[in-house]
Structure 1
């Protein structure tokens, strides 16, 4: 993976939820601290998913999404790589993609935004939506 920023950066509540931190510390997902990090990451070859966790202290779905994302990646046989959006870019990133609810998974291919999945969904819904998003020609 691409280590862009230290995983220790805090969320809006002042603390990164342990399951979100695990994505970075154990699974090696980079934290995208600014729009330059984001640009570099999404312009790498292939498909990418940016996890926008939101504030886990206020959004009880955030830890669930942090568990679901690695499972989705495994289910889709690593068809996309993953990163975590830092709190510093979250609001503008959500506005730019019109994915206003968190937690959210934002999908890109070769620098082009493909689609988003907001909030927690049923597993079958994830299967349908991710399949559709990954089939979009960027």
Structure 2
């Protein structure tokens, strides 16, 4: 199930739709392909006002970074399963990856200059891979009263 704005984006751009079964195949660059990709987590499964705005700017971002960034749309029914892996906490979001690892997340709609700045930073080969926030450690101690 997709939203009308997502159907229009797919038709207009021919971007692949990825889910948990094929995302790794998409992210693994073919010979001569750039290692970086941009995944669109649209939030289309539940209405979100900014989803159609991000969908409108996505083709422009891919044009601006042509040859340096490949794009795909995460299937709405797969977003819940893939959000944690790609450090997505807000929908809609764009996730910049280096091969199969997330190196940048751009939540909601941003100014064009912010997109350019943040994506350039994520495309830097030295950009760190995003990791899950550390979970708080709980320690229990037992003391026996005298």
Alignment of 1:33-48 (within 5 A): 34-45=19-30, 46-48=35-37
Q: Secondary structure at the match of 1:96?
A: coil
The TM-score normalised by the length of structure 2 is 0.76
Give the number of the structure whose alpha-carbon radius of gyration is greater. 2
Alignment of 1:20-99 (within 5 A): 20-32=6-18, 34-45=19-30, 46-55=35-44, 58-99=47-88
1:35-79 per-position Cα deviation (integer Å, ceiling 9, x unaligned): 121111111242111100002762110000001111111112342
The TM-score normalised by the length of structure 1 is 0.80
Provide structure 1 residue ranges, at least 5 long, that are not aligned to the other structure: 1-9
Q: How many residues align?
A: 123
Change (3 A) 1:92 1:56: closer
Give the Cα–Cα distance (whole angstroms) in 2 for the partners of residues 94 and 109 of structure 1.
16
Q: Secondary structure at the match of 1:117?
A: strand
Q: Secondary structure at the match of 1:72?
A: helix
Provide structure 2 residue ranges, at least 5 long, that are not aligned to the other structure: 130-146
- Conserved 8 A contact 1:47-1:107: yes
Deviation >3 Å, runs of 4+: none
- More moved, 61-70 vs 106-115: 106-115
User: What displacement does 1:121 show?
Assistant: 0.9
